[in-house]
Amino acid sequence: MSRITKSGRWFAAVAVAAALSLTACGSSDDTAGDDSTGGGCHPATLGFMAALTGDSAALGQDALNGVNTAVGQFNDANPDCKVTIKTFDSQGDPDQATKLASQIVGDTSIIGLIGPAFSGESLATGPAFNEAGLPSISQSATNVTITQQGWTYWHRVIANDGAQAPAAAKYITGDGGATKVFVVDDGSDYGKGLADGVRDALGSADVGDDTITTGQTDFSATVQKIMSSGADGVYYGGYYQECGLLLKQLRQAGYKGVFGSGDGSHNAAVITAAGANAAEGAFFTDAGAPPTDDFTALFEKYNNGEEPGSYSAEAYDATKVFLDGIAAGVTTREAMQDFITDYDEQGVTKEIKFDDTGEVATQTIYVYKVENGSFTTGQPIE
Amino acid sequence: MPPAAGTPDDAVRPDTGDRGSLVDDLIHSFFALTIQGIALGAVYALIALGYTLVYGVLRLINFAHSEVFMYGTFATAWIFVLIGPGKDTHLGNVVGVLIVAFVASMIMSGLIALVVERIAYRRLIRNRAPSLIMLISAIGASITLSELMGQRAAISDWFGLRDNLSDYVSHPRDTYGMGGTTVNPTQLFKIGDYRITDIDIVVIVAAILMMVGLDFFVRKTKFGRGMRAVAQDPESAALMGVNSQRIVQLTFLLGGIMAGAAACLYMLRIGVTKPNVGFILGLKAFTAAVMGGIGNLRGALLGGLILGVAENYGSALVGTQWKDAVAFVLLILILLVRPSGILGEVLGKARA
């Protein structure tokens, strides 16, 4: 009994100390906040939310490297007002993201958020961020409905699936040469949104649909449906784990037609999963721009020689918007929101300028093909 | 979106109604769905044996068994990374590698099963702990094993081997393949429209041989008699001079070996793995074991095959997104009619 009382006291002491220190932090933030855009640059903290572990960790890591490039460059140039990044690992799971969102909102030191990376977690966390007035810029959430929710604080630096789907349909029936296309999705907010857009754009060229579930590894039933539909084109809306296996099993079943997927599958791991031979000739539509040589050099400098991956450049652009704000003296969430609203600069991927819904003004879609076991440089779909 | 009536597509696909085309799919692809369902079900069945063996002897569900399978898949992958050809190839060219991988997977899974028995169960069994305690202990072992594989880069870092082993441990949580080796199936003959391939045959035949061997072992050997004795009445068995600890070890080892065989065959068909690959497969195998009658070896085989085939038919008939739902609805229906599973006999009661 006495031991419990003792440790209980100890706990109380720690709790009081913690509460005091929190109050102290809070008040110092408030005084800084009074002078929200007053000239000089102040040290600041930004949040970053994406999957850093789990199935989609590769995408999150590539983006984080882009964020670190921008912040590293900024901190080297401004040693007096260093910017800190707090990372939040959502594991790509909307439930997990919701829990993190309340943590992020509660952390008043965070004046802007890079992310959320995926559409599912964006839709799940949007209300919380919007209510708290925390501006966010996503590098890779492309679901169309996100910007139709009426959230003022949510932005993205990437073209949405509404732009991607028609471009994908145009490419598969145009350059791809397919006349009968079978469209498969994984039932996720992102995958189904993209696939439905492609289905609409294809019209009568869409000869069959199927939905798989994420985590499956055996797609024999879907492959069979595709083979018996006589399709000469297949488009998959979903992420790379399932995409690679679907492509492999299709080729092994003797499928000869063209195969395409979207940005969620545009990842080197898709070639690993499918095997280089099966992946040969597959195309991937992506709103992500191919990195320029200058950006690649900069990126390698801050990431131990690693090359940019998916959305590394977009993550850099998103971070750059916040960093420009911090350089202009922004210290509060509200001031950051105003700064973003008026923002208009050339980023490394495109001109960064947002409309009222948070949509970026430039909506270009690129196509990447697999040749000799790796991706070609993206070409814009005209 | 079915094409509008009167478009040229109608000539190719006369049945454009959604429901109609799904039934159509099932009929046209009946053989393909059946054969692939059996190949998938054979893997379920081999994993299911591990659940059913342990249940038969100890009356508890070994939830760490899915990880025993997962380590087997990595053993196969590592063997292919180490000595595989690293390119697209056919089964005939990799028979040697495959046999090594098959043995390595069985050894790996067998060892992991023994480790699980030693660490998660032995003391609890000796102290007659309630089965709920053992269940939690097994779940703990499952998560720990899965995380160890997911953290293998960090672990090799502790020993300063990360650079040397980077082919084996980098991106530990991501999809892990066979080092660029893809074993492509070759058509052997056709049934209907479906091309029966060498891989289908190897998977099905190997799985059935393993199961026949196990059945023989349990029914005809001295060790098998010991297993059945412990399953029937552990105390009398002990009085008759059966070393029950050895029997429990042997049970885990056999389950592990079967899971290792399943892992190698799974890799031959699918070709990639990851640290959580055992979760869904383990759940399906457990379902197969319960469906066939848990504790019954032949039930596990039957349950696995029925589950694999039913999933494929269900996918064709009501849509692929219902694949998992179909499996579990079927389980519930079967248990409503036969609460102890299809064959419903426990290991101890099996006659020699």
- Running DSSP on this structure, what letter comes out for residue A180? S
Residue B27 lies in a domain: no
Residue B33 lies in a domain: no
- Write the pLDDT tens digit of every residue in B35-93: 889 999 999 999 999 999 999 888 888 999 999 999 999 999 999 999 988 888 889 89
Element counts in chain A: helices (H) and strands (E): 13, 15
- Looking at residue A148, its pLDDT comes to 93
Contact criterion met (CB < 8 Å) for A224 and B324? no
Domains of chain A, first to last: 38-159+291-353 (3.40.50.2300), 162-286 (3.40.50.2300)
- Looking at residue A298, its pLDDT comes to 95
- Which value does ipTM take for this structure? 0.81
- Looking at residue B5, its pLDDT comes to 35
- Write the pLDDT tens digit of every residue in B291-341: 999 888 889 999 999 999 999 888 888 888 888 888 888 889 988 988 888
- Write the pLDDT tens digit of every residue in A240-267: 889 999 999 999 988 999 999 998 898 8
Res B266 pLDDT > 90: yes
- Looking at residue B346, its pLDDT comes to 59
What span, in angstroms and rounded, lies between the C-alpha atoms of A58 and A241? Answer: 11
Residue B183 lies in a domain: no
The shortest C-alpha distance from B151 to chain A (Å) reads: 10
Q: For residue B336, what is the domain's CATH number?
A: 1.10.3470
Res A13 pLDDT > 60: no
Q: Output the CA angle A275-A281-A282, nearest 5 degrees.
A: 75
- Write the pLDDT tens digit of every residue in A118-164: 989 999 999 999 999 999 999 999 888 999 999 999 999 999 888 99
Q: How many domains are there within chain B?
A: 1
- Looking at residue A259, its pLDDT comes to 97
Which of A16-25, A63-72, B219-228 is predicted most confidently? A63-72
Res B14 pLDDT > 50: no
Contact criterion met (CB < 8 Å) for A220 and B32? yes
- Looking at residue B349, its pLDDT comes to 58
Picking from B36, B40, B319, the nearest residue to A211 by CB comes out as B319
- Looking at residue B352, its pLDDT comes to 36
Phi, psi angle pair for B190, to nearest 5°: -115, 140
Residue B60 lies in a domain: yes
- Running DSSP on this structure, what letter comes out for residue A111? E
- Looking at residue B21, its pLDDT comes to 58
What span, in angstroms and rounded, lies between the C-alpha atoms of A141 and B221? Answer: 61
Residue B187 lies in a domain: no
What is the distance of C-alpha A47 from the center of its chain? 14
- Looking at residue B231, its pLDDT comes to 87
Which chain B residues are closer than 8 Å to A218 by Cβ? 36, 40, 269-270
Phi, psi angle pair for A208, to nearest 5°: 180, 150
Contact criterion met (CB < 8 Å) for A252 and B319? no
* Kind plus residue range of the DSSP H or E element containing A223: helix A220-229
**pLDDT, mean over chain A:** 87
- Looking at residue B348, its pLDDT comes to 55
Whether A112 and A142 have beta carbons less than 8 Å apart is answered as: no
- Write the pLDDT tens digit of every residue in A195-215: 999 999 999 999 999 999 888
- Looking at residue B191, its pLDDT comes to 78
Q: Determine whether B157 is exposed, middle or buried from the number of CB atoms within 10 Å of its CB (0-12, 13-18, 19+).
A: middle
Strand-pair category, A44-50 with A110-114? parallel
Task: Tell me which residue range forms the domain holding B236.
Answer: 41-167+197-349
- Looking at residue B351, its pLDDT comes to 43
- Write the pLDDT tens digit of every residue in A269-311: 899 889 888 999 999 999 888 989 999 999 999 998 888 988 9
Which of A272, A304, A372 to probe the B interface (max B CBs under 10 A)?
A272
Residue B28 lies in a domain: no
Contact criterion met (CB < 8 Å) for A55 and B182? no
- Looking at residue B166, its pLDDT comes to 83
Res B196 pLDDT > 60: yes
Whether A110 and A45 have beta carbons less than 8 Å apart is answered as: yes
pLDDT band at A342 (very low <50, low <70, confident <90, very high): very high
Residue B216 lies in a domain: yes
